[in-house]
């Protein structure tokens, strides 16, 4: 029997912490949320009051240095992730970090190596890996339903920033606007790339891709005015896995459709799976399967064991998927074994793929992986 609860501190009091991270921690009785940290004091205090958390602070170093805290949850702007995650690991904390840990895959790998050297668990905010449908699909793959994987197609497409007046966040307003900056590929591609790796079960050996800036003038949240922002708001790449499977992945936040807009398809020798993670008509996700002797895709009911306690198909995907992520992370920490899915090693693999697609676009060529061995 567990003698004491895991003590958790959340760094960052923003919208995603509000809708996903904090509800996930509060939902699991095996942990206790003991502190909220944010650089804006009023925001930290308000979050703590709203969620019944006793402690709030603006000093993240105070939190990281507290020996009574077991887990650090990094839910801050992307540019701060590596510093906070690294500090947490150095202080002996298990770390959940929103994606990416770092924009350079080598930094993410360094953090993964540090965690391993200290016997600590890590978890990336690959939210969609933990959807009941994606988890069920992986179970079917493990049972041999699809057989040898042939082709993976992945999409994350929605209308979140189709309107140029919707304030754009987490962009570098000082970046050279003559060079396209990665945006959709990083923010929207990462979770689909993660699913492709997990379902196909092999590494990529080469990729080729392209990016586009479809809407050049946008309202920027940090300035409150319209600005030229040469960001990738749509991208596509194709790739080849080491086991012979092929993949195509495309993402965009200016294509018509509801959020989050993920669709993952795996076609194998024995069967095919389509998992659609789009909140439509009150349902968070659907999964369909087909076989050579029944080629019309039929919808499957997702078994209850893939849902968190109290979870159901009509729950918001934000709380539903993240509750599974949190539950899985707590399982891994308390079990103390080797199992640690969706960790910083997986994050490094995903980031290396993103960096390879970036290189492919800028150098207009196929790029080989691992990147250390790529030669133009």
| Residues 159-174 pLDDT 10s | 999 999 999 888 888 9
Question: Does residue 376 lie within any of the structural domains?
Answer: no
Q: Give the closest residue to 141 by CA, choosing from 285, 289, 243.
A: 289
Q: Are residues 212 and 305 in the same domain?
A: yes
83 and 152 fall within a common domain:
no
> Which pLDDT does position 257 carry in this prediction?
87
What pLDDT shows up at residue 3?
A: 67
Domain co-membership, 152 together with 236:
yes
* Residue 138: domain span: 129-312+348-368
Instruction: Examine the domain organization and report whether 115 and 133 are in the same domain.
Output: no
**DSSP state, residue 245:** -
Segments of the chain scoring below 50 in pLDDT:
1
90 domain residue, yes or no:
yes
CB–CB of 206/240 below 8 Å?
A: yes
Nearest alpha carbon to residue 7 among 49, 60, 58, 67:
67
User: Of the candidates 374, 343, 336, which has an alpha carbon nearest to the alpha carbon of residue 356?
Assistant: 374
Q: Are 6 and 330 in contact (CB under 8 A)?
A: yes
Domain end call among 120, 154, 187: 120
What pLDDT, on the 0 to 100 scale, is given for residue 293? Answer: 96
CA distance 248 to 30: 40
Q: What dihedral angle (degrees, nearest 10) is formed by the CA atoms of 51, 57, 59, 62?
A: -90
This prediction's pTM: 0.96
Residue 62 inside a domain? The answer is yes
For the chain, how are helix, strand and coil distributed in percent, rounded to 5?
35, 30, 35
Q: Point out the domain boundary residue: 98, 120, 142.
A: 120
Specify whether 225 is located in the same domain as 297. yes
- CATH label of the domain that carries residue 25: 3.40.50.720
Indicate if 116 and 134 belong to the same structural domain: no
Pair 68, 134 in one domain: no
DSSP characters over 237-269: EEEEETTS-EEEEEEESSSSS-SEEEEEEEEES
Q: At what angle do helices 189-200 and 132-142 cross, to 10 degrees?
A: 20
pLDDT value for 376: 80
End of a domain among 64, 99, 120?
120
pLDDT at 2: 53
Crossing angle of the two packed helices 105-118 and 344-363, in degrees rounded to 10: 170
- Asked whether residue 340 is domain-assigned, the answer is no
In a shared domain, residues 114 and 207:
no
Residue 299 CB neighbour total at 10 angstroms: 11
Same domain, 194 and 78: no
End-to-end CA distance of the chain: 56
Q: Is 278 helix (H, G, I), strand (E, B) or coil?
A: strand
In a domain, 332, yes or no: no
Residue 288: alpha-carbon gap to chain centroid: 23
Q: How many domains, in total, are found in the chain?
A: 2
């Amino acid at each position: 029997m567990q003698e004491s609860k895991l003590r958790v501190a959340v760094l960052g009091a923003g919208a995603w912490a509000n809708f996903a991270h904090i509800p996930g921690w509060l939902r699991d009785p095996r942990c206790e949320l003991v502190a909220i940290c944010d650089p804006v004091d009023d925001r930290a205090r308000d979050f703590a009051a709203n969620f019944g958390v006793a402690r709030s602070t603006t000093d993240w170093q105070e939190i990281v240095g507290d020996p009574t805290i077991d887990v650090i949850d990094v839910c801050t702007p992307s540019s701060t992730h590596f510093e906070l995650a690294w500090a947490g690991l150095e202080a002996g904390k298990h770390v959940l970090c929103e994606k990416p840990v770092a924009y350079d895959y080598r930094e993410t790998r360094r953090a993964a190596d540090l965690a391993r050297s200290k016997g600590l668990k890590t978890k990336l905010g690959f939210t969609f890996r933990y959807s009941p449908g994606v988890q069920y699909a992986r179970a079917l793959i493990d049972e041999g339903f699809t057989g040898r994987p042939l082709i993976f197609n992945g999409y994350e497409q929605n209308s979140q920033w189709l309107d140029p007046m919707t304030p754009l966040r987490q962009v570098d307003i000082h970046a050279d606007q003559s060079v396209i900056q990665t945006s959709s590929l990083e923010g929207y591609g990462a979770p689909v790339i993660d699913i492709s790796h997990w379902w196909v079960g092999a590494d990529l050996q080469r990729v080729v891709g392209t990016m586009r800036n479809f809407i050049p003038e946008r309202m920027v949240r940090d300035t409150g005015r319209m600005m030229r922002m040469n960001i990738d708001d749509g991208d596509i790449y194709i790739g080849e896995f080491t086991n012979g499977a092929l993949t195509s992945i495309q993402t965009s936040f200016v294509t018509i459709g509801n959020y989050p807009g993920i669709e993952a398809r795996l076609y194998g020798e024995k069967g095919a799976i389509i998992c659609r993670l789009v909140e439509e008509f009150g349902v968070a996700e659907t999964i369909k399967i087909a076989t050579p002797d029944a080629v019309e895709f039929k919808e499957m009911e997702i078994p209850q064991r893939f849902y968190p306690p109290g979870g159901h198909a009509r729950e918001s995907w934000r709380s539903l998927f993240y509750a599974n992520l949190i539950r899985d992370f707590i399982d891994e920490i308390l079990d103390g074994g080797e199992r640690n899915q969706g960790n910083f090693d997986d994050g490094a693999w995903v980031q290396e793929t993103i960096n390879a697609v970036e290189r492919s676009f800028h150098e207009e060529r196929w790029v080989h992986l691992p990147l250390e061995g790529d030669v133009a």
